[in-house]
Amino acid sequence: MASRQEIVIHPESWEKHRYTFSDAAVKEGKKIIAISGVTSEDEAGHTMYPGDIEAQCRFIYQRIEGMLKAAGATFDDVIKTTDYVTPEGFKDYGKTTKVRREFFKGRYPAATGIIVNRLIHDDWLIEIDAIAVV
């Protein structure tokens, strides 16, 4: 049986990926899109909106939207998200519901929220991964 090729997706603005994971991966012939944890880090490696979980969440969902579009999907195709939230971010975590409403427009996927001790960079308050089915 021939193996299926994996299609790797990176935002157009990222010329060279710095880490050992794909932003999203799609197995050719499959209809599942797995998006790795997305943070509020910009293309230059700077944290956007330190201290503001709502703005970080919005930035993350904008990045996810670009990855979904590149894979031929939309937020309507997302079936699961996982939020990794630091204790500092958890103080204002409720503000992220407003952002989810902006992007999911009432068609909400399954979701899990996990409080973690910290993320890789101290300025990150939240990291989100997603699974979509097209």
Question: Tokens for 54?
Answer: 């709502």
The predicted structure's pLDDT at residue 107: 85
Q: How many helices (H) and strands (E) does the chain have?
A: 3, 6
Domains in the chain: boundaries: 37-133
Minimum mean pLDDT range among 2-6, 63-67, 130-134:
2-6
Helices assigned H by DSSP within the chain: 53-70, 87-90, 96-104
d(CA 93, CA 113): 10
pLDDT, one tens digit per residue, over 44-101 is: 999 999 999 999 999 999 999 999 999 999 999 998 999 999 999 999 999 999 999 9
Asked if residue 49 lies in contact with residue 41, where contact means CB atoms within 8 angstroms, the answer is no
CATH class of the domain defined by 37-133: alpha beta
The predicted structure's pLDDT at residue 18: 53
pLDDT at 1 over 50: no
Entry pTM:
0.81
Residue whose token pair is 């899990």 = 112
Tell me the DSSP string of 100-131. Answer: HHHHHTT-PPEEEEEE-S--SSTT--EEEEEE
pLDDT at 11 over 80: no
Residue whose token pair is 């939207």 = 65
